[in-house]
Structure 1
Amino acid sequence: MDKEQRKKLIVLVEDEEIIVNLLTNKLKKVGYEVKAAYDGINGLNLIRTAKPDLVLLDMLLPRLNGFEVLEKLNKEKILPDLPVIVISNSGQPIEIDRVLKLGIRDYLVKINFEPNEIIAKVNRVLGRDEVECGVRDKIEKERISGQALLVEDDIFISDLLEKKLSQSHIKTFRAMDANSARLILTSEKIDVILLDIVLPGVNGIEFLKEIKANEKLKHIPVIILSNLGQKKEIEKGLKAGAEQYMIKAHSTPNEIISKVMEVINKLDSRI
């Protein structure tokens, strides 16, 4: 394949599998090839052999940390020619300054970024046209079997569930808090709500009570997704009007989607 036509290769060095899966899917969706390594030594070897167009590098890695990987790349004179974007849990100025001196192109703090922000930075570093990316990212229209509102402030969980819901032909609207969810509920026909309890501002239980007190919204089934698994919390959620109460740590994404489909199918049978 001609070099101009081949897909740009990105090496992702990250030890958290959920992040690897999310970013790999996002990057492939917009036309990149992705190879991943889960520790510093394998990551360094992969960079040497695969000769990528760009590297996404975590700092806290087993066997060889991100700093050590960068130092070796610098000594081997692979840096600064190879574009590297660092993804880390730390946003300390001293750390940022240290990696910038080693020749990286950009830096993201895990707690603050969204996957789409990484895509934008990758595109910018590699000089890709946003219009081209938009065309690649265009999804073929499929039959929509329902519309879900996902009220969840954990970006990674939201990304994962949105992907799974899309695969089941369910269109997903996302909100990180009650205020955003209210706006969506006033403008969209929602068939089911997936609701976290611990949210910024109004908590999930209070927002659930608000929904059930609203004549226009009270018919919408609500599935609570929470890390709070005590009997008291479950009873509180069901008493407030939840159709189901699912504990995140005990529920796989497929089990959550199954419950959503079950609820939507119930609605269809009533029509």
Structure 2
Amino acid sequence: MRKKITIIENDKTIAKMYRFKLENAGFDIDIAHSGPDGLHLVKNKQPHLVLLDLRLPHMNGDEILKHIRQNEWGKAIKVIITANVHRRYAPDTLNRLDFEHYLVKANYTPSQLLEIIREVLPQNDSHRLVEA
């Protein structure tokens, strides 16, 4: 079974670059460019992993992550935060939320991101849909 990844990223160029790399690596990719669209997509698709930008239109990434973690359907979803700022400048609310990695986008190539995703999503990891 192909692993599902949802990319929530307002920069369409970055989102396309991630999609190209990850689809070529065998992942199923969905993309949203705003916070509400991203949350809706995650709830309906229940991906194995979310690449979540912090600064998004209409709802920030930390708010999206909070909504994901508050629901039973979102507890098993892996999340990698992608941001343009160092972690020390990220919203304080992130300190109380569960996620796998915090990456400054400028510091990671798509190939490096792919390696991190492969570490986070082992091939034998099972994932089941939970009633949303």
TM-score tier after normalising by the smaller chain length: 0.7 to 0.9
**Which deviates further from its counterpart, 37-46 or 87-96?**
87-96
User: 2:25 matched to 1:30?
Assistant: yes
Aligned to 1:147: none
Alpha-carbon distance change, 36 to 15 in structure 1, aligned in 2, over 3 angstroms: same
- Provide the alpha-carbon RMSD of the alignment: 1.8
Q: How many residues align?
A: 124
2:80 to 66, 78, 85: 85
Structure 2 gap ranges (5+):
125-132
Q: Give, in whole Å, the separation in 2 of the partners of 1:89 and 1:126.
A: 24
The higher radius of gyration belongs to: 1
Output the amino acid matched with 2:34. Answer: D
Aligned to 1:47: 42
TM-score w.r.t. the length of structure 2 is 0.86
Q: Give, in whole Å, the separation in 2 of the partners of 1:77 and 1:91.
A: 30
User: 2:110 matched to 1:110?
Assistant: no
1:16 to 2, 5, 11: 11
The percentage of aligned residue pairs carrying the same residue is: 30
Q: Give 1:79 shift.
A: 4.4
Output the amino acid matched with 1:48. Answer: K
**Corresponding residue SS for 2:90:** helix
Q: Give 1:113 shift.
A: 1.3
Deviations, residues 172-214 of structure 1 (Å, cap 9, x unaligned): xxxxxxxxxxxxxxxxxxxxxxxxxxxxxxxxxxxxxxxxxxx
Task: Check conservation: 1:14, 1:38, Cα contact below 8 A.
Answer: yes
Q: Give, in whole Å, the separation in 1 of the partners of 2:90 and 2:109.
A: 21
Q: Give 1:12 shift.
A: 0.4
**Corresponding residue SS for 2:56:** coil
TM-score w.r.t. the length of structure 1 is 0.43
Task: Check conservation: 2:52, 2:82, Cα contact below 8 A.
Answer: yes
Higher relative contact order (CA closer than 8 Å, sequence separation 6+): 2
Structure 1 gap ranges (5+):
1-5, 130-271
Task: Check conservation: 1:96, 1:107, Cα contact below 8 A.
Answer: no
Q: Give, in whole Å, the separation in 1 of the partners of 2:26 and 2:65.
A: 26
Alpha-carbon distance change, 43 to 98 in structure 1, aligned in 2, over 3 angstroms: same
The runs of at least 4 consecutive aligned structure 1 residues that moved more than 3 Å come to 77-80
Task: Check conservation: 2:46, 2:73, Cα contact below 8 A.
Answer: no
